[in-house]
Amino acid sequence: MRDIESLHKELDTVKDYNTSREPLQMSEYGRSIQEMVNHCKTIKDRDERTNCAYTIVGIMSTMTEQSGNAEDFQQKLWNHLARISKYELDIDYPVEIERYDEEQKMMKVNYPQKPIRRRHYGRILEDLTKKITEVEDPEEREELAHQVANQMKRSLAYWDIDVMSDRKVVDDLADYTNGKVTIDPINNPLVTDGELLSNLISTSITKKKKKK
């Protein structure tokens, strides 16, 4: 059995080794992926190098839960590959790479934001309600108001199905616009409760299948 002193020395060696290694560009993918990317950069033949990159992205896809549609997911993976390579991997990328800017991200995070009155609707919907009041054409204004109202009802359904109702949408839209915009869900019906409930059930089933 090793004595304590020798064990301490071995642990110190491991510690020194770990701290001297190249820092990970994206820790969520681990050192193995970074080493694969580093190796890929050393391949002289461009076609072979590109094929190697496709293989790495395939491995990365098994390590990351897909979010959004397939196209967005692939965009994210290739962006991550380029970032791990410090944007030094010269290959034929299948997408246009969007560079990650840590400093710009920090600036965005620290930038003061206006408060959102109702978080379940979000800022985009709140901004859209203001746009409605600026539309002068009556028909165009009514059509935009109806589209916004439908989206508000969908947001309510995802937030809390029990509070979702045409009446609440009417009241909230009127409140957002200081009473300048009203809708008539009786003569111009909004998306039905049944359709929204069906979408919620379908989305829930899809998420459960992905987790499996």
Domain ranges (residues) in the chain: 22-105, 122-198
Torsion angle of C-alpha atoms 25, 63, 208, 152, degrees rounded to 10: 30
DSSP label of 63: H
Over residues 149-168, the mean pLDDT reads: 84
Sign of the CA dihedral 122, 128, 129, 130? positive
Summarize the confidence of residues 177-206 as an average pLDDT.
Answer: 79
- Distance CA(2)–CA(96), nearest Å, equals 55
Average pLDDT value for residue range 76-84: 93
92 neighbors 46 (Cβ within 8 angstroms)? yes
On the 0-12 / 13-18 / 19+ scale of CB atoms within 10 A, 185 is middle
Task: Provide the 8-state DSSP code for 122.
Answer: H
A 10 A CB-CB count for 34 gives: 19
Residue type at 174 in one-letter notation: A
pTM of the model: 0.46
pLDDT tens-digit map of 89-114: 999 898 888 887 654 444 444 444 56
Compute CA distances 35 → 56, 81, 87, 163, whole Å. Answer: 10, 12, 15, 51
Question: Is the pLDDT score of 157 beyond 50?
Answer: yes
Whole-number pLDDT of residue 184: 87
What token pair was written down for 211? 């987790």
